[in-house]
Amino acid sequence: MESLKLSDWANNVAPSPTLAVDAKAKALKAAGEDVCGFGAGEPDFDTPAFIKAACIQALNEGKTKYCPAPGLPQLRAALAEKHIRDNKIHGVTADQVIVSPGGKFSCYLGVMATCSPGDEVIIPAPYWVSYPEMVKLAGATPKILLADDSSNFKLTPEQLKEAITDKTRMVILNSPSNPTGAVYTREEVEALVEVALEANLYILSDEIYEYLLYDGVTHVSPASLSEEAAARTITVGGFSKSFSMTGWRLGTLVAHPEIAKAVTRLQGQMTSNATTFAQWGALAAIEHPKQSRDAIDEMLVSFDCRRLTLLEGLSSVDGVTCQRAQGAFYLFPNISSFGLSSTDFASRLLEEEKVAVVPGIGFGADDYIRFSYAVADSTIDEGIRRFKAFCGRL
Ligand SMILES: *Cc1c(COP(=O)(O)O)cnc(C)c1O
């Protein structure tokens, strides 16, 4: 048989390193090993019961058919209100809202709708693993700008300004951030948006962790800053992280009506609508903000407690420094003093101590590893003990 030829798209796309670590840790666990898994990028809570109930009711009522490509009209209308209320984006209408099969797909649609071959997209590192790959799949070129722990993992307006060329089409912002947990302040968002608008860039704002905040910080949506900012910003959100609905595959996208129309055309050809009965469940989450807020707050109490335990544990290890992240559910300690690549560090940590973390190289930052604290308290205590023992031997 002749060798099977794959496309350039398939050959050039990197496998997701976060999913890879999770798979390796799960395989070890299945083989009976006692693994402390910090690799997971999902909450360890169940989906709130009232959301599941609404989905089950939809199934029982036979809501099992296609719906319009951009989403259930009721859900789009409710999400328009949500973006006015919570994200403070002025006058959002239902025709600006798309419901997609996941925040990840929303990001991809946003890039596909606005970026062409030859365009450059600025991505601050440490970045979420999928951004550079999406940009490449759209035929555009990722331009990575490192914002390390010396700047609290935040891109500065000077850095952004300096990197813009006449080919730059978009900048991707992700606050609160995966993998660093960094949250941009209002002033920081304002300064970045000002530079982006001056250069006529699009802003892809990935706000999937918008409700997962600690230390009293607030989330600021770039699209809330001005009419011009709203017109140039594609706001991505979703249900996976805030409502513990990762397996439901539901994301959102809010953009200028022209962009939303383009996104609808793309989604219509690429997948049709997101799962219909899942959207009926999501509608319950958006239509009952009080119940949703309570469910999120309950989760946040646990997350915050674990964040502080993990932060204290990691900071107490000789040779490790760790920023006090104020969002999402990750810490991103610096392990560069040990002189190992993040991949070697993470593989040895998994082999020798059965502790699974994600190497920073996958996020474009080889001096770090990522711990998720969306794990049981007992895992955190035991994981820190093993991590200390491991670092002590290096
Ligand atoms: C988890 C995640 C998403 C999207 O997740 P979905 O499950 O596809 O909704 C998007 N951006 C970041 C930064 C994430 O961590």
The pLDDT, as a whole number, for residue 153 is: 98
Q: What is the pLDDT along the chain (394 residues), one digit of tens a residue?
A: 778 999 988 888 877 766 677 778 888 989 999 999 998 888 989 999 999 999 999 999 999 999 999 999 999 999 999 999 999 999 999 999 999 999 999 999 999 999 999 999 999 999 999 999 999 999 999 999 999 999 999 999 999 999 999 999 999 999 999 999 999 999 999 999 999 999 999 999 999 999 999 999 999 999 999 999 999 999 999 999 999 999 999 999 999 999 999 999 999 999 999 999 999 999 999 999 999 999 999 999 999 999 999 999 999 999 999 999 999 999 999 999 999 999 999 989 999 999 999 999 999 999 999 999 999 999 999 999 999 999 999 9
- Cα separation, 86 vs 83, in Å, equals 5
Q: Whose CA is nearest to atom 5 of ligand 1?
A: 103
Query: Which residues lie closer than 8 Å to 119 by C-beta, 6 or more apart?
Result: 140, 141, 167, 168, 169, 170
pLDDT at 192: 98
246 lines ligand 1 (CB under 6 A): yes
Q: What share of the chain is helix, strand, coil (3-state, %, to 5)?
A: 50, 15, 40
Residue holding tokens 């009419």? 227
Q: Where do the structural domains in the chain lie, given as residue ranges?
A: 8-46+292-393, 65-288
Looking at residue 92, its pLDDT comes to 98
Q: Is the CB of 238 under 6 A from ligand 1?
A: yes
Which CATH entry fits the domain spanning 8-46+292-393: 3.40.50.150, 3.40.50.300, 3.90.1150.10, 3.50.50.60?
3.90.1150.10
**Taking the CA of residue 26 as centre, how many other CA atoms within 13 Å lie in the half-sphere pointing to its CB?**
8
Q: Residue 22's pLDDT is what?
A: 73
Query: pTM of the entire structure?
Result: 0.96
Q: What is the DSSP letter of 223?
A: G
Ligand 1 geometric centre to CA of 210 (Å): 11
47 lines ligand 1 (CB under 6 A): no
Q: Is the CB of 237 under 6 A from ligand 1?
A: no
Tell me, using a 6 A CB cutoff, whether residue 206 lines ligand 1.
yes
In short, whether 174's Cβ falls inside 6 Å of ligand 1 is yes
345 CA → ligand 1 middle, Å: 25
**Residue 250 CA: which ligand 1 atom is closest?**
9
Q: What angle do CA 236, 326, 353 make, to 5 degrees?
A: 100
For residue 161, the surrounding DSSP H or E stretch is: helix 157-163
Task: Please state, in angstroms and as integers, the Cα–Cα distance from residue 134 to each residue in 145, 177, 261, 333, following that order.
Answer: 17, 17, 20, 26
Q: Cβ(140)–Cβ(116) under 8 Å?
A: yes
- Considering the four listed CATH numbers 3.40.47.10, 3.40.640.10, 1.10.10.60, 3.20.190.10, the one that applies to the domain covering 65-288 is 3.40.640.10
Distance CA 229, CA 190 (A): 10
Place of tokens 């539901």: 250
Check residue 24 and give its pLDDT.
82
Can you say whether residue 113 is alpha, beta or left, with left for phi > 0 and alpha for psi between -120 and 50 degrees? alpha
176 touches ligand 1 (CB under 6 Å): no
Residue 251 Cβ contacting ligand 1 at under 6 Å: yes
Nearest Cα neighbor of 128 from 191, 41, 20, 193 is 41
Sheet holding 120-125, edge to edge: 97-100, 251-254, 233-238, 202-206, 168-174, 120-125, 141-146
Q: Which of the listed residues 129, 133, 206, 243 should we mutate to test ligand 1's pocket, taking the one with most ligand atoms within 8 A of CB?
A: 206
DSSP reduced 3-state for 170: strand
**Ligand 1 geometric centre to CA of 2 (Å):** 39
At 263 the three-state DSSP class reads helix
Which residue in this structure is represented by tokens 């706001």? 235
Cα 315 off chain centre by: 25
DSSP bridge pairs for 370: 358
- Ligand 1 atom 4 nearest Cα: 103
Q: What is the pLDDT of residue 3?
A: 83
In this structure, what token pair is assigned to residue 368? Answer: 């770090």
82 φψ region: left (φ > 0), alpha (ψ -120 to 50), beta (else): alpha
